[in-house]
Structure 1
């Protein structure tokens, strides 16, 4: 068909706030998803906002935005922009999201949704009242191997689930001489909130609601350089752990650890059932390992299941099994689900209410740690 006869889809114009690691990941998702999936909209990178002229203009040039600004409010007030993508520091998520919602724009906010569950609730209620579509960035859940694991658990292949272990460990805060950053701000930081939230989201994605927690949150590096020749006290956890009880009767544990020397991306889980077990590591995230008690004696062991076109939507990216997906591919899958939700084709994959749930879990674990007792998870 000649190019001039192609039917054009409606445009969805995107404004991005923040151009760091996650800002670029959002852009990769927005630009890859239309090439991999048949989306109901043409996505347009309209305007990018960052704090200085230099960073904003460079981002516009390198990432492909038509316009740039140093004031994120310009995106909110621009009637041409339909969707606000927020990858700014955690403590700014609430103000930016509420402003975007009030302007009737859809909001894609990187996790954690807000520093406090009360803030996340306010954001959730505002979005639901306004009728805008929301998404919180938990793209690890988009991995076909996690979806396979959930299907195997739900289908009874592991039997009755007895135990769960989840871990998200990295070492980007392991150096005690590393500077104090926004992640150390009590108004939105700490290892449990920053990366332990992924472990909690995965636990509930696989096994369903967590009902009770016993937390243990520790600060092991008590102060850090403040960038001005002095030091600043660290009041958030470097390691956050919790024992868990699930509604389905299973028990388990999770850990968020950002001082795990040598670990760059260890987002792992193990699930133990009466008929089998699963083991997964983000360090080899195109693999899922399955143990079955139905194998003959002398033939038992964890077998490797490699990602393949049989595990949708892997086949959208590659027709050959075992060739693996990447981190940004998961962002493209996340974007695809969100864009379909905006079009009314599917429910929101992980909206603000789901983000509120994760923040509620984090805060309940923190309160449990302070009280040194088991606590019920609200709601």
Structure 2
């Protein structure tokens, strides 16, 4: 595949992130195919035309189905609200397009399963937007765990908190509805934590869960009253990995002061590794070696020793950002396409992540321990 034609649906936060990533992937990573920014889709049409010019796309449309029959498009990037992922991805797969879709895959696990199965049957390649797991700090942490740097893993604790729904006076939006958003904090943020959890320690066998809606109603934007919030603001689970290691995960979208507190600790028999997304270029490592009077956590700053950091910057401690992780993710997908290989995480991998968040919801509603394999 000498060059790859891209069609992008959506121009919000993630749409811009995809556009920036496509534009930078070759310049940063080098060994990726040439990109043709073919068509951008947005509504209304005048906005689509404006954003196509801004993002560097050759053409614009206000009908996403135009991308399906366009022979110049090899990959469709889906960055729309959650409720549209399912229909768009299935149509793209049926049209033989590769799909780069933002997480979560869909509103329900049944929809996500259908997307996974359709991609597997068709043979098209897929990628899902879990860009945090492409962070050089995270991949180094995975290597430390695997190498035994902290001994035998004995416990895991993870949490992901933000405050974008903490204000009770914030107006009601589609994010509060199951029909449009699906799960709340679990679907929006918890799945990111799960993607890291799986990368560090592998699949979860079973769990016990709980959820709550902190603000049960929110004021309507027109001032006519309040509407009910249908999904969860917080969720917590006690988890048991297939390896036998136990731990916990928790998420809240109503945690004042937290902006992107995706944090975790891996406890080992000989030390601990800690990470916090708000300080995403650092790892904290404790190793129970040497003089006890001089032991303590050390800070590892990402550097060219933690590939592919060096593709962005030759100097340690200068730091990568959210959009840089998107560039790594995008380049990973483009390289896989060129080689005819599967990228990680694809629809199958994302389905495994999302099985866990739906298992937490079922465990909370039914007040029982859930075996994750029940969800297929």
TM-score normalised per structure 1: 0.95
The 3 A distance-change label for structure 1 pair 180 and 96 is same
Cα distance in 2, alignment partners of residues 364 and 179 from structure 1: 29
What is the match of residue 168 of structure 1? 160
Flag structure 1 segments of 5+ consecutive residues without an equivalent: 1-8
Corresponding residue number in structure 1 for 2:207: 213
* CA RMSD in angstroms, aligned pairs only: 1.3
The alignment status of 1:307 with 2:318, answered yes or no, reads no
Residue among 343, 356, 361 paired with 1:361: 356
Question: Which residue number in structure 1 is paired with residue 94 of structure 2?
Answer: 102
Q: 1:178-327 residue pairs with structure 2 within 5 A?
A: 178-187=170-179, 188-228=182-222, 229-327=224-322
2:114 match: 122
The answer to whether the 8 Å contact 2:6/2:39 transfers is yes
Is 1:47 aligned with 2:47? Answer: no
The offset of 1:77, in angstroms, is 2.0
Q: Note the C-alpha offset of 1:38.
A: 2.2
C-alpha distance in structure 2 between counterparts of 1:169 and 1:226, whole Å: 25
Partners of 2:146 and 2:38 lie apart in 1 by 42
Between the two proteins, the alignment pairs up a number of residues equal to 371
Matched position secondary structure for 2:57: coil
8 Å CA contact 1:243–1:253 kept in 2: the answer is yes
Residues of 1 paired with 2:177 and 2:350: CA distance? Answer: 20
Residue 372 of structure 2 is matched in structure 1 by 377
Cα drift, residue 248 of structure 1: 1.6
- Is this contact kept in 1: 2:26–2:32, CA < 8 A? no
Query: 1:298 aligns to what SS in structure 2?
Result: helix
Superposition misfits of 4+ residues, deviation over 4 angstroms: none
Partner of 1:176, secondary structure, is coil
In the TM superposition, what are the counterparts of 1:26-105 in structure 2 within 5 Å?
A: 26-105=18-97
- The answer for the alignment partner of 1:4 in structure 2 is none
1:44-66 deviation per Cα after TM superposition (whole angstroms, max 9, x unaligned) = 11111112124312211211111
Gaps of 5+ in 2: none
2:132 to 140, 165, 173: 140
Is contact 1:244–1:253 with CA below 8 Å preserved after alignment? Answer: yes
8 Å contact kept, 1:14–1:85: yes
TM-score, normalisation: structure 2: 0.96
Question: What is the rounded CA distance, in whole Å, between the counterparts of 1:123 and 1:331 in structure 2?
Answer: 22
For residues 257-277 of structure 1, what are the alpha-carbon distances to aligned partners after superposition, in whole Å with 9 as ceiling and x for unaligned?
111111111111111000110
